[in-house]
């Protein structure tokens, strides 16, 4: 594995899931593989889980992890080639990334979308410029359109919570929110679930919240949430803003919030969310505080997902 930007960087999803689960049962089994190596974690946006779990994962493999909060502590970066830098940006990624490539063995970067211009966001300029100029492996800690470490975690969590000899029914449901959010988690979850092929996958959302077909192709899609929830084994709850008329909130009907009453339609489903979650807006207290919720287990699994990915990159890149 050279970089980890999307599911397309993974040759065998199931093998990566198994690798992560092995780390869960024996976190320090490869504690020397990263000796004398350094990973730089670059944050252009806030984070709790991704930041801490990736540091812990690197340290479990013997690596030193250094966090750089770029927008709070560093110079403002320019990403456009041939930009005339007479505005607010101070240093071009073309100059900064090769330096970081000399300081570190792996770089990991979080860059959210602007939600202003779809073409710009979906071009993934920031992370592509990093890959182009850093000269070392790059891991996405969430980019403009995808969140692959979250999605790997989600596959791991589904795997360890389902043992029946059939495919689980997994439902991704849109949920209300107070502000427009990126499509990253929903795009990425759809892309991974479809590539994994181990589930019956249904997406449900109100009209106007269609995601990019590039990621959802292969899923059943319905605007009838109750129909979608019927006999579900897992319900993944997530808000996203509109994709077509980009970055907007249209319908924000509170009736779309998942409740214990709606869960009666399911096969006693486990409920997932990437977190952070707005309680009683996206998901009700009665679910989050019940045995249906596996959100803490899911977030804890972020360590093992990151550890499996860093191990793959260390092994592939010497
Ligand atoms: N799920 C997730 O990425 O959490 P953070 O934003 O806290 O890293």
Q: In angstroms, what is the span from residue 83 Cα to ligand 1's centroid?
A: 31
Q: In angstroms, what is the span from residue 139 Cα to ligand 1's centroid?
A: 15
Cα–Cα distance for residue pair 259/273, rounded to 1 Å: 14
Residues of the chain with pLDDT under 70: none
Q: What is the pLDDT of residue 192?
A: 98
CA torsion angle for 210, 212, 218, 219 (degrees, to 10)? -30
- The CB of 150 under 6 Å from ligand 1? The reply is yes
User: Which residue lies with its CA nearest to atom 7 of ligand 1?
Assistant: 48
Cα–Cα distance for residue pair 317/34, rounded to 1 Å: 12
| Cβ–Cβ under 8 Å, residues 4 and 139 | yes
Cα–Cα distance for residue pair 211/241, rounded to 1 Å: 9
The pLDDT tens digits of the residues spanning 26-70 come to 999 999 999 999 999 999 999 999 999 999 999 999 999 999 999
Contacts of 45 (CB under 8 A, 6+ apart): 71, 110, 111, 112, 142
Q: What is the pLDDT of residue 111?
A: 95
| Cβ–Cβ under 8 Å, residues 259 and 288 | no
Q: In angstroms, what is the span from residue 85 Cα to ligand 1's centroid?
A: 32
The pLDDT tens digits of the residues spanning 177-213 come to 999 999 999 999 999 999 999 999 999 999 999 999 9
Q: Count CA atoms within 13 Å of residue 246 on its CB side.
A: 14
Cα–Cα distance for residue pair 307/40, rounded to 1 Å: 15
Q: What is the pLDDT of residue 160?
A: 97
Q: What is the pLDDT of residue 317?
A: 87
Contacts of 205 (CB under 8 A, 6+ apart): 173, 174, 211, 221, 223, 240
Strand partners, 279: 283
- The CB of 274 under 6 Å from ligand 1? The reply is yes
- The CB of 143 under 6 Å from ligand 1? The reply is no
User: Which residue lies with its CA nearest to atom 4 of ligand 1?
Assistant: 49
Q: What is the pLDDT of residue 16?
A: 98
Alpha helices in 5-110 (DSSP H): 13-25, 49-60, 70-73, 93-103
232 SS3 class: coil
Q: Is 0.75 topped by the overall pTM?
A: yes
- The CB of 48 under 6 Å from ligand 1? The reply is yes
User: Which residue lies with its CA nearest to atom 1 of ligand 1?
Assistant: 274
């Amino acid at each position: 594995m050279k970089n980890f930007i999307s599911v397309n960087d993974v040759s065998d999803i199931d093998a990566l899931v198994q690798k992560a689960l092995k780390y869960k049962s024996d976190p320090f089994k490869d504690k020397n593989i990263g000796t004398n190596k350094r990973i730089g974690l670059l944050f252009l946006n806030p984070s709790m889980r991704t930041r801490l779990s990736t540091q812990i994962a690197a340290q479990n493999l013997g690596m030193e992890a250094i966090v750089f909060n770029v927008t709070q502590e560093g110079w403002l970066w320019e990403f456009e080639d041939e930009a005339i830098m007479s505005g607010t940006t101070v240093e071009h990624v073309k100059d900064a990334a090769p330096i970081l490539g000399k300081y570190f063995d792996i770089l990991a970067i979080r860059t959210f979308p602007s939600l202003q211009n779809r073409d710009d966001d979906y071009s993934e300029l920031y992370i592509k410029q990093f890959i182009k100029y850093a000269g070392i492996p790059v891991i996405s800690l969430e980019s403009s359109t995808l969140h692959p470490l979250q999605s790997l975690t989600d596959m791991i969590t589904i795997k360890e919570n389902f043992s029946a000899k059939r495919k689980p029914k997994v439902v991704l449901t849109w949920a209300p929110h107070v502000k427009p959010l990126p499509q990253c988690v929903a795009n990425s979850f759809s892309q991974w679930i479809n590539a994994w092929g181990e589930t019956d996958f249904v997406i449900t959302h109100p009209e106007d919240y269609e995601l990019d077909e590039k990621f959802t192709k292969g899923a059943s899609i319905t605007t009838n949430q109750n129909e979608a929830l019927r006999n579900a084994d897992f319900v993944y709850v997530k808000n996203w803003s509109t994709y077509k008329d980009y970055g907007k909130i249209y319908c924000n009907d509170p009736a779309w919030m998942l409740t214990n009453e709606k869960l009666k339609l399911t096969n006693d489903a486990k409920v997932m969310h990437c977190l952070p979650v707005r309680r009683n807006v996206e998901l009700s207290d009665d679910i989050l505080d019940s045995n249906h919720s596996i959100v803490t287990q899911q977030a804890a699994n972020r360590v093992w997902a990151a550890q499996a990915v860093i191990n793959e990159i260390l092994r592939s890149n010497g």
